[in-house]
């Protein structure tokens, strides 16, 4: 298995170089690229005030999300998708996190690389933040496209974080029995085989996730926040990593930002490979990994 790696460099170039090393396949790749918003994003830093109070202030630019149109954005993304496909194990998956600005064009791009049969669905994440303007309706969700390299991609649902409560109507209509330990259940017979479902276990997650809020304005005042713009919550990545991998697998994030994917993967006993072209991201991710007690090699790509 490869050592844990954090690399400073261009994502597409790094993916090609890593594939050339023959270090072994990747089992899950999560990518949260720029969204083609058309603006530069600055990190935020913690400014200590008197009496133990803290506020946030603007820091250095973390990354520039201005590409001059959708075609230039896709020209950035396509070699990364191709590099990920080359690295993935036959049971490996890509989870590509975007929003309404580019997700439809990106799906066509991924269909070309993985084949349309590689598309396994999408997750609609409702982070619970965002402005409510007066023109049109506000877009309050983001989309994560899920692709598999082969026909037998890993998919797990045996952890509480991967399940959700049954609807009240279902509980009232179907879970009418109680076993000797006091647990409510229902039995279903399918093709002559009876399956038992317990109410307290919940059901497998659907494709709309509303129970994981976004970071609070990406502020470093809160324990998990690093100040990196567009930082995703650890709970979101924990759900993805648990759902699509097992202990000992290798998780890759070639645009890793503040390192959320890497920290979560390492804490769940997975190997991790990360890369980013932002010096701010590398500094924050390195510090975060060290604070978590996770060993890694730091590479500087030429």
Cβ atoms of residues 197 and 188 within 8 Å: yes
Q: Considering just the CA atoms, what is the radius of gyration of the chain in Å?
A: 21
pLDDT tens digits for range 1-21: 458 999 999 999 999 999 888
Same domain for 79 and 128: yes
Same domain for 184 and 36: no
Same domain for 233 and 184: no
Same domain for 125 and 213: yes
CB-hemisphere CA count at 13 Å for 163?
14
> Cα–Cα distance between 152 and 91 in angstroms, integer?
6
The DSSP result for 61-93, as a single string, is: EEEEE--SSHHHHHHHHHHHHHHHHHHEEEEEE
Which residues, in sequence order, are bridge partners of residue 196?
187
Lowest mean pLDDT among 64-68, 99-103, 104-108, 244-248: 64-68
CATH number of the domain that 114 lies in? 3.40.50.150
Same domain for 174 and 94: no
Same domain for 130 and 225: yes
> Cα–Cα distance between 88 and 96 in angstroms, integer?
14
Same domain for 75 and 196: no
Same domain for 188 and 207: no
Cβ atoms of residues 256 and 105 within 8 Å: no
- What average pLDDT does range 260-280 have in this prediction? 96
Same domain for 170 and 25: no
Cβ atoms of residues 28 and 95 within 8 Å: yes
Residue 20: Cβ-neighbour burial (10 angstroms; 0-12, 13-18, 19+): exposed
Pick the last residue of a domain from 153, 184, 201.
Answer: 201
Which residues, in sequence order, are bridge partners of residue 190?
193
pLDDT tens digits for range 197-215: 999 999 999 999 999 988 8
Cβ atoms of residues 18 and 12 within 8 Å: no
Same domain for 97 and 23: yes
Pick the last residue of a domain from 201, 228, 258.
Answer: 201
Of 216, 236, 80, 66, give the one whose Cα is nearest residue 144: 236
> Cα–Cα distance between 80 and 256 in angstroms, integer?
13
Instruction: With cut-offs at 50, 70 and 90, classify the pLDDT of residue 297.
Output: very high
Same domain for 109 and 229: yes
| Domain ranges, residue 176 | 166-201
Of 37, 31, 3, 38, give the one whose Cα is nearest residue 15: 31
Q: Which two tokens stand for residue 205?
A: 């997650």
CA 197 to chain centre: 29
Paired sense of beta strands 203-204 and 184-190, if any: unpaired
Name the packing angle between helices 279-291 and 260-267 (round to 10°).
20
Query: pTM of the prediction?
Result: 0.87
Number of domains within the chain = 2
pLDDT tens digits for range 126-170: 988 666 666 677 888 999 999 999 998 888 988 989 999 999 999
Query: Cβ atoms within 10 A of the Cβ of 50, count?
Result: 5
pLDDT tens digits for range 168-188: 999 999 999 999 999 999 999
Cβ atoms of residues 292 and 267 within 8 Å: yes
**Selection from 44-48, 105-109, 297-301 with the highest mean pLDDT:** 105-109
> Cα–Cα distance between 41 and 218 in angstroms, integer?
12
Cβ neighbours for 259, distance < 8 A, ≥ 6 positions apart: 6, 274, 281, 284, 285, 286, 288, 289
Q: Which two tokens stand for residue 138?
A: 């506000």
Same domain for 211 and 95: yes
Pick the last residue of a domain from 201, 222, 257.
Answer: 201
């Amino acid at each position: 298995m490869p050592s844990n790696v954090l690399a400073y460099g261009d994502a597409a170039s790094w993916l090609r170089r890593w594939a050339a090393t023959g270090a072994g396949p990747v089992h899950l790749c999560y990518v949260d690229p720029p969204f083609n918003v058309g603006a530069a994003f600055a990190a935020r830093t913690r400014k200590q005030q008197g009496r133990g109070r803290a506020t946030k202030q603007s820091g250095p630019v973390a990354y520039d999300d201005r590409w001059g149109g959708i075609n230039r954005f896709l020209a950035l993304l396509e070699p990364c998708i191709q590099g990920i496909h080359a690295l993935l194990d036959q049971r490996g998956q890509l989870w590509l996190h975007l929003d309404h600005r580019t997700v439809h064009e990106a799906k066509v791009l991924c269909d070309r690389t993985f084949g349309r049969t590689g598309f396994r669905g999408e997750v609609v994440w409702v982070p619970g933040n965002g402005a409510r303007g007066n023109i049109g309706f506000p877009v309050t969700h983001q989309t994560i496209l899920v692709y598999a390299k082969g026909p037998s991609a890993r998919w797990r649902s045996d952890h509480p974080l991967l399940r959700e409560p049954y609807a009240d109507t279902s509980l009232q209509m179907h879970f009418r029995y109680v076993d000797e330990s006091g647990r409510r259940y229902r039995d279903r017979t399918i093709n002559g085989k009876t399956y038992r479902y317990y109410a307290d276990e919940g059901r497998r997650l659907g494709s709309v996730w509303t129970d994981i809020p976004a970071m609070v304005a990406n502020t470093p005042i809160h324990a998990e926040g690093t100040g990196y713009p567009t930082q995703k919550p650890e709970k979101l990545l924990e759900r993805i990593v648990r759902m699509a991998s097992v202990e000992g697998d290798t998780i890759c994030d070639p645009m890793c930002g503040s390192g959320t994917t890497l920290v979560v993967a390492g804490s769940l006993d997975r190997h991790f490979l990360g890369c980013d072209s932002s010096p701010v991201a590398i500094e924050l991710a390195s510090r975060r990994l060290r604070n978590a007690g996770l060993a890694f090699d730091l590479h500087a790509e030429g």
